[in-house]
Structure 1
Amino acid sequence: MNSYVYLILAILGEVGATSALKASHGFSKPWPSLACVLGYGISFYFLSLTLKTLPIGIAYAIWAGVGIVLTAAIGYVVFGQKLDVAAMLGIALIVAGVLTIQLFSGAGSH
């Protein structure tokens, strides 16, 4: 399977786990707590497969950057968290950084 497919699965696992972590209320709710642990396990498993072919710096930058953006979006939509102008600017810079790595850096090619 393509390393970018593994990376997407790792990102989705991390975002789901982080969202479940919020919903677990400090691990006091069992189902979100279980989802959190499973999600992080899935995330790290697929990230480890990604790292077989992609450089760690590139894979981690994409994993973290996309994870931040998706988690912020879920926080806004699901948990009603507000994003001010500074937060949106910061998220835009993260997106710009991930796009710069993908479009212009040769470091990510394998």
Structure 2
Amino acid sequence: LARSIDGGLTWSPLSYDAVLVEPICQASLLRYDDARLLFSNPASRKRERMALRLSEDDGRTWLRSLVLHEGPAAYSCLTVALGGMIGCLYECGDVHPYERIRFARVPPDALKGG
């Protein structure tokens, strides 16, 4: 991870976050509000288990999460919809991660602590 506090003009040195497991697949990161960040990706060493995570301390910790799809999954893209609902568009399938594209609408309080 690298952080910027000036709109991307400069960046901190790279660091590793063991909580955000990444199988070399496009993840999505989105600011929800002033302190909260959303992160989605296949939460596994393989392209499987699409998960949505919420940080309530500007990305220092990721204590709330929700698995959207247990099976094969790949790229994802996040948005904040009307009323504060979290939207996640992602690839998934039963055998391969590229069989279909799903859109999940998730209320922020659906992400559980853990």
Structures share a fold, TM > 0.5? no
Category of TM-score, reference length = shorter chain? under 0.3
Scaled by the length of structure 2, the TM-score of the pair is 0.22
Greater RCO structure (CA 8 Å; 6+ sep): 1
More strand by share: 2
